[in-house]
Chain A
Amino acid sequence: MFPSLLLVLLIGVAAWAGTVAGGAVLFGVVLPYAAFAVFFAGMVWRMFYWAKSPVPFCIPTTGGQERSLPFIKQNAVDCPSSTGGVVVRMMLEVLLFRSLFRNTQAEVCSSRAGGVRSTYYSSKWLWVFALVFHYCFLLIFIRHFRFFVEPVPACVTFAESLDGIMQIGAPRLFLTGGCILVALCFLLGRRLFNERLRYISLFNDYFPLWLLIGIVGTGICLRYFDKCEIALVKIFVMGLTQFSPAPAAGINTLFFVHITLVSTLLLYFPFSKLTHMVGVFFSPTRNMPNNSRMARHINPWNPPKQYFTYAEYEDTYRDAMAEAGLPLDKQPDKAAE
């Protein structure tokens, strides 16, 4: 836990010091370019790496009734037998984290009638905060397009108005900033205070959390406290996107810390568990239909058949089988020849 926090702080401090010492170009131009290049190349490589290995067997985890007889109702979402069903299952998984939602818990209580009654409720904290985190992240990501595109697309403005719907303060308070911070703290808190999770957590789990907290923290500071000149930042970022970097003069040092942390995230992404973002689409227990009795799934490395054949079997037991009156392919007298 501490090494990962330390590392994130170190990166932040280095970016700060470097910028103050006149390295704005390094942290604001060179690093982002490098990070983007590594991120894209890395992700493509990662997907290629996965795709290189075949899916030898059709192994969906069935979460409901299979398609069978007409009078038995199939659960077409949790046990899909067609591509359409798989798409729906995948959408629910990716957009709503359905499997996490399944986390039901039961509680038994004595009812007034005297008997015992069980009630079931879903243990949903992890699900709620995971969902909040991911959606806030998405919204923040969309909001940032304000800096990359001119004119600002309508959907970005819409996302902003949605985010600032509370209409508090100037600059208008974005809900996502606060929400994502709360969600991140929950996800981190689980790892720290739940003994079970603390035991399984690694550097690789804490690092991205601290990094994201750093990114969100600096972002919030830049908007509300150490306010930076939006126009200058936009010119700078547009310069980056059009491969003609603009001068960094007049932009807060903290901005470069923010940029550096984001670059670190991009650099780290393809080599970490964060690849679950695309990995989930590759997961054979979720992205395959349960139709393996209806359509043959092909295994490219299917080895040749080798087994103890019936002929060998009959050769071994022929006499005894004949005595027992079992039908034979070759009668004992014939086989002896």
Chain B
Amino acid sequence: MAKLPTPQQLIADRPAFPDKHWLNVKSEFTPGSFCYPAKKDTMELLHMPNPHEWDPAAEDWGLPENWERILCDAFADRLEKHRSLKLFMDICVRCGACADKCHFFLGTNDPKNMPVLRAELLRSLYRRDHTMLGKLLGKTVGARAWDKSVVKELFYYAYQCTECRRCSLFCPYGIDTAEITMIVRELLHEVGLGTHWIMDPVKNCSFTGNHLGIKPHSFVEIVEMLADDCEIVTGIRPKTPFNQKNAEILFITPSGDVFADPGIYTFMGYLLLFHELDLNYTLSTYASEGGNFGSFTSFNMAKKLNAKMYAEAERLNVKWILGGECGHMWRVLNQYMDTYNGPTPVNMVKPVSPITGTEFTNAVSTKMVHVAEFTADLIYNNKLNLDPCRNDHIITTFHDSCNPSRGMGLLDEPRYVLKAVCNNFVEMPENTIREQTFCCGAGSGLNTEEIMELRMRAGMPRGNALRYVQQNHDVNHMACICAIDRATLPPLANYWAPGVTVSGLHELVANALVMKGEGKRTLDLRQEDLPNVEPDEAADTGEEQ
């Protein structure tokens, strides 16, 4: 008769000692551990190589006949194109300083999520084909051959890295796993392996200008609905200029903020702020997506999507571009845009704030300014009438998004703005903020719901730090400057620190902004009561919930 297993037997899910070297451990594709694959017709439409239907959980991924040749050649090609790749393949000493810096490692305890090993997956292939010792000694020096299970492993771990660069900060040689992940993803796309959550928005952004594929006229209507909501809250209906030629400024922000809760409130914040300033600006339906989904795919795709910004700036004859709050968008804008698609069109000039006259000298070449820089300058020059008491029911902390922190250095501008619009601000622990910030756990195209548990594990270090300030400093709100954060932090907070709300920076700005001719504010942008304002005799917004 079979015995009931003891609790020890039930939970012991690993052998006492790993009987296999990591090179020989294969990845298991169980539901919840992988993102859904991209559709064949999406890949075809985008002219991606080797499009095919496949299933990550299946044994056979339907790789093209000569997959090994394709991958070897593509890898050799990338080595010729990127000095960083050659260098990062050669000089890692495996000191282990990066190992516990990765939020995926901390949350999953999977050894291959240590940045050093994630890179080693590719490095082992590099050794075989591109180093003398690897050619001579093979496995002894950690070299291995391409194999279908190796391709699966690369896919598994390239989509368990959010390209946050935290490891790169601690590496004595600056080895950047984001760079390696980006290139591994590029290689995988060469044999037709991509994920739906990334490729579908890529397709939509490419052909309609926003990530959901909403057609221009509907997009405009949706934005106008947000302007209507602004009117309910403030009594002022901000203008929504679209595709206006000869405006001074073109404003581009992630389209997620037009569709997704709570990003929409940040978008309303922009509309109100620009209206109050009477800014001569325009939105564009053609270049309405700032966030660059292409950057999760390949350098070329990122370039392709990014090209629309300067093209539209040229067509509309604007002087400079203002960019909204977004993480990956700003990594691309700060480090890639000018290289990809510069030099800027001739009609563009050095950005100058029309309100304060401040020259943004740090953006003289790209001519693109971050909205946090823009607003910080307004506040410094006393151009905004702010009533931070309206946000007094909020004790806020600030989540630094990975890309603006470690790919740009935008740290103090948003804090400057936040402190001006909120009286209660508390920092999270020192080794979880600023350049050492922990990722939300779902950046770089991983914020899809099929891997929710994985995201909760990966976001755990962030959630843990948030919970700490919630319990010790009564924090009930977290501000951020990234559209992906606004999508991924609410579930993270609901799981690890329930009771903390998440919003973009400019939602709080607009809540505190005293506008000329506005009605008495009793509601915030979410149309929730402002507790620190006594409701007046006239409950003018009674209809709304």
* Smallest CB separation, A91 vs chain B (Å): 14
Given A285-B84, A308-B206, A324-B217, are A57 and B335 neighbors across the interface (CB < 8 Å)?
yes
**Beta-carbon contact of A62 and B217 below 8 Å:** no
The reply to whether the CB of B519 lies closer than 8 angstroms to some CB of chain A is no
B176 and A61: CB pair below 8 A? yes
Query: Cβ of A203 < 8 Å from any Cβ of B?
Result: yes
A53 at the B interface (CB under 8 A): yes
A336 to B434, CA, bound (A): 55
Look across to chain A and name the residue whose beta carbon is closest to the beta carbon of B205: A308
Binary CB contact string for chain A from 73 to 106 against chain B (1 if under 8 A, 0 otherwise):
1010011010000000000010001011011111
Q: Are A190 and B217 in contact (CB under 8 A)?
A: no
Cβ–Cβ contact A68 & B430, under 8 A = no
Taken together as a complex, chains A and B put the C-alpha atoms of A108 and B464 apart, in Å, by 13
Check A200/B116 contact, CB under 8 A, given A50-B83, A104-B431: yes
B169, A102: Cβ atoms under 8 Å? yes
Residue interface mask A173-195, B partner, CB < 8 A = 1: 00000000000000000100010
Interface string of B232-265 (1 = CB under 8 A from A): 0000000000111100000000000000000000
CA distance A326 to B284 in the complex (A): 10
Taking CB atoms and an 8 Å cut-off, the chain B residues in 148-179 that contact chain A are 165, 168-176, 179
Residues in B whose Cβ lies below 8 Å from that of A61: 165, 168-169, 174, 176, 406-407
Separation of A283 and B215 alpha carbons in the complex (Å): 44
**Contact between chains at B90 and A273 (CB < 8 Å):** yes
Our pick among A62, A99, A199, A283 for the contact of B408 (Cβ within 8 Å) is A62
Q: Which of B191-199, B336-344, B484-492, B506-514 contacts A (4 or more CB under 8 A)?
A: B336-344
Asked whether, in the complex, the Cβ of B216 is within 8 Å of the Cβ of A326, the reply is: yes
B243 CB contacts on chain A under 8 angstroms: 326-327
Q: In the complex, how many angstroms separate the beta carbon of B47 from the nearest chain A beta carbon?
A: 9
Contacts of B206 in A (CB 8 A): 307-308
- CB contacts (< 8 Å) of B171 on chain A: these are 99
| B residues less than 8 Å from A75 (CB atoms) | 409
Known A64-B435, A68-B413: A201·B83 in contact at CB below 8 Å: no
CA distance A194 to B94 in the complex (A): 13
A100-B114 contact given A130-B95, A202-B142, A276-B93, CB 8 Å threshold: no
Residue of A nearest to B370 (CB): A68
Given contacts A275-B90, A284-B83, contact A292 B430 (CB under 8 A): no
Q: Mark B123-155, 1 if CB is under 8 A from A, else 0.
A: 000000001110001001110000000000000
A243 within 8 A of B: no
> Measured between C-beta atoms, what is the minimum distance from A315 to chain B in Å?
12
Contact of A3 among B131, B140, B308, B409 (CB under 8 A): B140
Q: Roughly how many angstroms separate A296 CA and B335 CA in the complex, as a whole number? A: 10
Q: Per-residue 0/1 for A301-320: is the Cβ within 8 Å of any B Cβ (1 yes, 0 no)?
A: 11101111110010011001
Tell me which of B120, B243, B312 has the highest count of chain A C-beta atoms within 10 A of its own C-beta.
B243
For chain A, residues 30 to 55, give those with C-beta under 8 angstroms from any C-beta of chain B. 46, 49-55
Q: Is B285 a contact of A321 with CB atoms below 8 Å?
A: yes
Query: Which of B5-13, B266-274, B299-307, B441-449 has 4 or more CB atoms under 8 Å from chain A?
Result: B299-307
- Given contact pairs A203-B140, A296-B339, A285 touches B411 in the complex (Cβ within 8 A): no
Does the CB pair A307–B373 fall under 8 Å? Answer: no
List the B residue with the shortest CB-CB distance to A276: B91
Contact yes or no, A57 B336, CB < 8 A: yes
How far, in angstroms, from A63 to B305 measured CA to CA in the complex?
28
Contact A63 B94 (CB under 8 A): no
Q: How far is the CB of B482 from chain A (nearest CB, A)?
A: 16
How far is A291 from B363 in the complex, measured between Cα atoms in Å? 9
**A271 within 8 A of partner (CB):** yes
Residues of B within 8 A of A63 (CB): 169, 406, 435
- Residues of the A chain whose Cβ atoms lie less than 8 Å from the Cβ of B334: 290, 292-293
Contact A118 B362 (CB under 8 A): no
CA of A227 to CA of B217, assembled, Å: 90
Instruction: Enumerate chain B residues within 8 angstroms of A337, measured Cβ to Cβ.
Output: none
Inter-chain contacts of B120 with A (CB < 8 A): 200
Rounded to whole angstroms, the CA-CA distance of A300 and B391 in the bound complex is 50
Contact of A204 among B142, B307, B312, B406 (CB under 8 A): B142
User: CB-CB < 8 A to B413: which residues of A?
Assistant: 68-69, 72
Quick one: given A126-B95, A199-B111, A282-B83, are A103 and B285 in contact (CB under 8 Å)? no
Interface contact A302-B169, CB-CB below 8 Å? no
Asked, given contacts A196-B96, A271-B133, A321-B217, whether A279 binds B409 with beta carbons under 8 Å apart, the answer is no
Interface residues of B in 85-133 (CB under 8 A from A): 85-87, 90-97, 99-100, 111, 114, 116-117, 120, 131-133
CB of A106 within 8 A of CB of B87, answer no
A108 to B430, CA, bound (A): 12
Q: B366 interface residue, CB < 8 Å from A?
A: yes
Q: Are B373 and A290 in contact (CB under 8 A)?
A: no
With both chains docked as a complex, state the minimum distance between the C-beta of A168 and any C-beta of chain B, in angstroms. Answer: 33
Distance from A66 Cβ to chain B, minimum over Cβ atoms (Å): 3
Residues of chain B with a CB closer than 8 A to A291's CB: 362
Is A58 at the interface (CB under 8 A from chain B)?
Answer: yes
Is B380 interfacial (CB 8 A cutoff)?
A: yes
Judged by a CB distance under 8 angstroms, whether B207 is at the interface is: yes
* C-alpha spacing A3/B215, complex, angstroms: 65
Q: Nearest Cβ distance between residue B352 and chain A, in whole angstroms?
A: 13
- Residue of B whose beta carbon sits closest to that of A274: B93
Interface presence of A223 (CB below 8 A): no
| Interface presence of A56 (CB below 8 A) | yes
**A286:B174 contact, CB within 8 angstroms:** yes
Interface string of B267-297 (1 = CB under 8 A from A): 0000000000000000001100000000000
Residue-wise interface mask of B (409-445) relative to A, using a CB-CB cutoff of 8 A (1 in contact, 0 not): 1111100100000000000011100111000000000
Interface: A146 (CB within 8 A): no
Which A residues are CB-close (under 8 A) to B365?
292-296
Distance in angstroms between the alpha carbons of A164 and B334 in the assembled complex? 52
| A280:B342 contact, CB within 8 angstroms | no
**Interface contact B86-A50, CB-CB below 8 Å:** yes
**Chain A contacts of B434 at CB under 8 A?**
64
Are the C-beta atoms of B435 and A62 separated by less than 8 Å?
yes
List, in ascending order, chain B residues with CB within 8 A of A154's CB: none
Contact of A310 among B173, B300, B315 (CB under 8 A): B315
Query: Whole-angstrom distance from the CB of A267 to the nearest CB of chain B?
Result: 11
What is the minimal beta-carbon distance from A129 to any residue of chain B, in angstroms?
11
Inter-subunit contact A99/B83 (CB<8 Å): no
Known: A69-B376, A308-B308. A103 touches B429 (CB 8 A): no
Task: Give complex CA distance A69, B363 in Å.
Answer: 11
- Taking the closest CB of chain B, its distance from the CB of A283, in whole angstroms, is 4
What are 28 contact pairs spanning A and B, CB under 8 A?
A53-B79, A53-B81, A56-B82, A62-B435, A66-B408, A67-B409, A68-B360, A69-B377, A72-B416, A73-B412, A106-B430, A200-B117, A271-B133, A279-B87, A279-B90, A284-B83, A284-B84, A284-B174, A285-B179, A292-B338, A293-B365, A297-B339, A307-B206, A313-B209, A317-B217, A320-B217, A324-B220, A327-B243
Report, nearest first, the 8 A-B pairs whose CB atoms are least far apart. Answer: A66-B409, A324-B217, A279-B91, A285-B174, A62-B409, A276-B91, A286-B174, A53-B83
| Interface residues in chain A, defined as those with a beta carbon under 8 Å from any beta carbon in chain B | 3, 46, 49-59, 61-69, 71-73, 75, 78-79, 81, 93, 97, 99-100, 102-106, 108, 115-116, 118, 120, 126, 130, 190, 194, 196-197, 199-205, 271-273, 275-276, 279-280, 282-286, 290-299, 301-303, 305-310, 313, 316-317, 320-321, 323-324, 326-327, 329
> Given A273-B93, A293-B365, list of 15 further CB < 8 A pairs?
A53-B81, A93-B174, A100-B97, A194-B96, A197-B96, A200-B111, A200-B114, A279-B90, A284-B83, A285-B84, A293-B362, A298-B339, A303-B303, A307-B304, A326-B216
B residues engaging A (CB < 8 A)? 18, 22, 79-87, 90-97, 99-100, 111, 114, 116-117, 120, 131-133, 137, 140-142, 165, 168-176, 179, 206-207, 209, 215-217, 220-221, 242-245, 285-286, 299-300, 303-305, 307-308, 311-312, 315, 333-336, 338-343, 358, 360-366, 368, 373, 376-377, 380, 405-413, 416, 429-431, 434-436, 468, 472
